[in-house]
Structure 1
Amino acid sequence: MVKKFLLIILFAGNLAFSYDFSKIDSIVYSGISNKFYPCAQLIIGYNSDLIYEKSYGNLTYDENSEKLGDYHLFDLASVTKVVAATSAIMVLYENGKINLDEYAGTYLPEFSNNGKENITVRNLLLHNSGLKAWIPFYQYYKTKEEVLSAIFNIAPVNKPGAKFVYSDLNAILLGLIVERVSGTTLDEFCIRNIFYPLGMKNTFFNPVEEKKKYCVPTENDTYWRNKQLQGEVHDEAASILDGVSGNAGLFSTARDLFDFMRMMENKGFYYNPYTRGLKKERLFKEETVDLFTSRAAGLNYLNTRALGWDTKPEPNKYRIPCGESFSDKCFGHTGYTGTSVWCDKDRHIIVILLTNRVYPYRGNEGIKEIRPDLHNEIISLLKNN
């Protein structure tokens, strides 16, 4: 059988580069064949250019189910934390509406109790607020008001700044701060200040009914909602919070996320999509992007976090999601549903990988092997050309 190669020709001056993406395709397809996820969208960017884009698989494991296209929407889960909540904080920070070292209780007075008085906005962004990682809200509460009351009155488990604990509570609070300071909802703020300027027309919370058919299915929820989830946020806390939360709830496509990550990689610059890309504009100042995407220093513990964003983690019992070959000057984030966005600032590489690995149930964690293998192969491919 003749082996087929997919070649993309890129012109840089008088030079032409040929890339063979067959190994990358093989890695992504292996996740489907091993039933780590039914489908995936992949985009690779290099030097601000989109050099590879592909959709793999079907919406479910049924070979007769709909084939995935580039227009299908994925539940981003915790990628919401950076694309929505953190970016919204960046906007307010640049506008002088938020001080990162101000107490969170200054913006949310009802939060300032039970030992949380000294938690700052920066602590929330760095996940060293002292709050616990997670609360199974769906087991105890039914309404948004009940969940917010529980968060406002919770007691911390550590002192602020003493220890890193990745917490959904931090991101939920950041979203609430955005709403309180801006006087509008998080979803409306993000559309107006981030998504619309960048032309991200397929990025939003709570997909409307006609968009739900384009959403890939996530989990068959048999323990709480008792239905197959499709076009409805997978995260239980975000669900009780009416689908709009700083920790989860955003739906998007790989193409929209590439436009967002390209803006971040370009230090806040983007080409206005409403002028056919002829007008270069700025969403964020360069120093703001650097501040939020660079590993925070001067902490009392080993840290790999930036403000809201993750950077290249230290090796541990799990493999590094962005791969061992990504440089130390990278930033990104993963999502529980099987999503991830990463940018290597040194090599000017962007990788967007969206999957629905929680279909039909959340137990399969094979994506933890696919992600590093994929990112390592991308670095190898681009480094050798």
Structure 2
Amino acid sequence: MSWVAHPTVFAEPRGPAPFSDIDSMMTEAVAKGNIPGGVVVIGHNGKIVYRKAFGSRSLEPLREPMTIDTIFDLASLTKCIATTTSAMKLLEAGRIRLNDPVAAYLPEFAQNGKQDVTVRDLMTHYSGLPPDLDLQSPWQGREAAFQMAMQTKLQDPPGSRFVYSDINFETLGFIVEKVSGMQLNEFAEANIFAPLGMAETRFLPPKEWRPRIAPTEYDEHGDMLRGIVHDPTARRMGGVAGHAGLFSTGDDLAKFAEELLSGHRVLSLSAVVKMSTPQQPPNAASLRGLGWDIDSPFASNRGELLPVGSFGHTGFTGTSLWIDPVTDTYVILLTNAVHPHVGKSVVSLRARLATAVVESLQLTVGEEEKLALARITGYNESQMAARRLSVRDGDVKTGIDVLEAHNFRELQPDPSRPVRIGLVTNQTAIDSRGLRTPDVLSRVPGLQLTAIFSPEHGIAGKLDTTDISQSQDAATGVPIYSVYGESDAKRRPSDGAMASVDTIVYDIQDIGVRFYTYESTLGYFLEAAAKAGKQILVLDRPNPINGAFVQGPVADAGRESFVDYWQTPVRHGMTIGELAKMFNAERSIGARLAVVPMEGWMRGDWFDSTGKLWIDPSPNMRSLNEAVLYPGIGMIEATNISVGRGTDTPFEVVGAPWIDAVKLASYLNARKIAGVRFVPVSFTPNASAFANEKCGGVNLISTDRDAVDAPELGLEIAAALLRLYPDNYKIAPLDTLMLNRTSMNSLAAGEDPRRVAEDWRDSIQKFQELRAKYLLY
């Protein structure tokens, strides 16, 4: 079973003893005293292919041999198996929502600034809560734990940083109980364990099970813990908690793993996929599902070879479970490594075990599945695959380079009857030799360049006016028609100009942002070509801010305009050629479209990885740094602030005469916004908003461009200005370019920008599924 394009998986055990490496490493771990003993269960293609016990179940007070039916304290595996699955049952029933504030279910939780923490934040460990409840004071009981969790103060803003926290799942357990009306252990038994036949899985195991339970360590009174939860917080809570307390066997966990891979008696496939694919804040470094780990610092039990599309979790006592839907494989390791004393680590053993399983079963994944997995891991995958793009020195051939290499066959030159070409272009259209596309096409026998169409900013890309008149290209003598102006009609080619050409060629460098008007110009020419019955050929160019990340709100339907040709997120992660294919199909334009793809471009390439010369695509887009910030800073430009137009660093500064620079920078830095820092500055723009007025504000420093979610950054700045300067800042015009009324209303109402951004997740996912049909790379 696979959730990723049904891969072809080859599983041929290596040699006569395919699992001998596993036998050896487990025997060695016991001999070295790293673990008293353990149970390993491996499943593949719906069957258990390995099941064995090693070493001792108990060393003190008496030595007992490990048996395959030993019951283990699962520790934090409780979070996934009991609490997460219970929460997902309630989510499927519509009784909880991931983006709801926790306080919607537990009103007491809102105190001490936690009103914006969501259920999703709890389940991904991005809540901002500290790691655990205070164990220094002598509290006891579930009610005391509940009150402490409700009163806990945040140590980080919600969504800003991954901190593994037991309080997250203690609180999630309380939500399950509040919504279901049942104790967590009762709900899990009725809705998970009983339906799956997990008869030896439960909180508070009965006394008759104790001879088969693996002991952990001595408690504070000197008594060996056996059948009593090891975790001290769960123990004070009476043994039932959302973060720890569950006991189980290898065989029962195999039933659970198989359920997630192919059963769907407890959860639907969509729910399983939801909780086992990345749900952390966009571009966060640690990949977390809902409850499950995908690729965080705690994901060592994935090993070196299991793909990042797999998921799992560990437990402090020495337990782990890793599940790989791509190869239909699971690996269960149960030990009581804390017995008889805490101090030994099984981190290395977990990793080596997972790697040995892949090697023993000779698991491989096809190229198609690797591409599909890239939707989870990001592209140009680097060491930790934590949505980090590796930097490379590429040599990209753009569409015009490829067209030249093909001897222009896509245009079908005919010297006896030259093909009349209308070229939509500007200063960015050069080939690898530095030749302009107009010059290249004008010299091809069998082609006749009869018209050039210039977009916003004119043929040279230097004008900031709507008054751009027709002119003539000095080098070729070809007339240049402006397709930019105040009216919609002036932004489209005239019927007369279209009649003078046989084929439209589009070659302009885009910036990768929805409201950058070159994209609408493309759409208008698709419409014009369809209307006139002309072919249109798009010469593709890189998305300078890469094609891996998709960010920001999707534009509302019915609000299409020259700054919103189609319902895409602000940062769509597509090239201009891919957009052309999508526009033509999704808007049912029906143009005779062809795209000349690039060669050598990878989706994770920032512009500096392409080997191409940076040419300012517009007067105020002067560097890649500005392009990184533009999806957010440009989005808020319509409000009453300066974004640095009229300075040397447009889109790298934000300010206004009424802003206290130090106060704003301090507030924004305290928000711990990923990938960016803020330096208080004063500046005086010589054009545009607040021209010749001294402005206080911030200089934005990108510290990690892979981590920057620029549209959310824009919201953060707008929310900060609204909070600090409610009488000065006019937020309503923000929706001019954001074009998402739900987000606008939430932000204007004072909702935390991270909460607003979380609500983009589902629409972004739907868009990514749509855009997948049109991706060329």
Q: How does the TM-score come out when normalised to structure 2? A: 0.44
Q: Give 1:23 shift.
A: 1.3
Going from structure 1 to structure 2, the CA distance change for 1:64 and 1:250 (only over 3 Å counts) comes to: closer
Residue 260 (structure 2) aligned to one of 260, 264, 274 = 264
SS at match of 2:238: coil
2:309 partner amino acid = K
Deviations along 1:158-189, one digit per CA (max 9) or x if unpaired, are 11111111100001011110000000100000
Aligned to 1:308: 291
SS at match of 1:372: helix
Q: Give 1:138 shift.
A: 5.8
Going from structure 1 to structure 2, the CA distance change for 1:301 and 1:312 (only over 3 Å counts) comes to: closer
| Separation of aligned partners in 1, 2:330 and 2:64 | 28
CA contact (8 A) 1:319 1:369 kept: no
Task: Tell me whether 1:98 sits opposite 2:92 in the alignment.
Answer: no
Task: Tell me whether 1:283 sits opposite 2:279 in the alignment.
Answer: no
Higher Rg of the two aligned structures: 2
| Separation of aligned partners in 2, 1:240 and 1:63 | 24
Q: Give 1:284 shift.
A: 1.3
Aligned to 1:54: 52
Higher mean Cα deviation, 120-129 or 292-301? 292-301
2:291 partner amino acid = G
Higher relative contact order (CA 8 A, sep 6+): 1
Q: Give 1:201 shift.
A: 0.1
Quote the sequence identity (%).
37
| Separation of aligned partners in 2, 1:84 and 1:375 | 23
Going from structure 1 to structure 2, the CA distance change for 1:124 and 1:384 (only over 3 Å counts) comes to: closer
| Separation of aligned partners in 1, 2:299 and 2:192 | 32
Task: Tell me whether 1:323 sits opposite 2:306 in the alignment.
Answer: no
Aligned to 1:374: 353
Matches within 5 A, 1:248-263: 248-263=244-259
SS at match of 2:322: strand
CA contact (8 A) 2:286 2:295 kept: no
Deviations along 1:246-270, one digit per CA (max 9) or x if unpaired, are 100000001000100111112x43x
SS at match of 1:20: coil
| Separation of aligned partners in 2, 1:355 and 1:59 | 9
| Separation of aligned partners in 2, 1:59 and 1:207 | 17
1:348 partner amino acid = D
Q: Give 1:225 shift.
A: 3.7
Task: Tell me whether 1:126 sits opposite 2:105 in the alignment.
Answer: no
| Separation of aligned partners in 2, 1:53 and 1:363 | 27
Aligned to 1:343: 323
SS at match of 1:362: coil
| Separation of aligned partners in 1, 2:361 and 2:115 | 49
CA contact (8 A) 1:74 1:354 kept: yes
| Separation of aligned partners in 1, 2:325 and 2:363 | 18
Going from structure 1 to structure 2, the CA distance change for 1:319 and 1:286 (only over 3 Å counts) comes to: closer
| Separation of aligned partners in 1, 2:136 and 2:192 | 31
1:368 partner amino acid = V
RMSD of the alignment, in Å?
2.1
SS at match of 1:237: helix
Higher mean Cα deviation, 46-55 or 76-85? 46-55
CA contact (8 A) 1:296 1:304 kept: yes
CA contact (8 A) 2:129 2:156 kept: yes
Going from structure 1 to structure 2, the CA distance change for 1:348 and 1:335 (only over 3 Å counts) comes to: same
CA contact (8 A) 1:138 1:240 kept: no
5+ residue gaps, structure 2, are: 1-11, 365-777
5+ residue gaps, structure 1, are: 1-14, 270-281
Matches within 5 A, 1:11-90: 19-61=17-59, 65-90=63-88
How many residue pairs get matched?
Answer: 353
Deviations along 1:206-246, one digit per CA (max 9) or x if unpaired, are 1111112211110122xx24311111000001011110001
Q: How does the TM-score come out when normalised to structure 1? A: 0.87
| Deviating 4+ runs (over 4 angstroms) | 15-19
SS at match of 1:36: coil
| Separation of aligned partners in 1, 2:283 and 2:328 | 31
Going from structure 1 to structure 2, the CA distance change for 1:170 and 1:225 (only over 3 Å counts) comes to: farther
1:303 partner amino acid = S
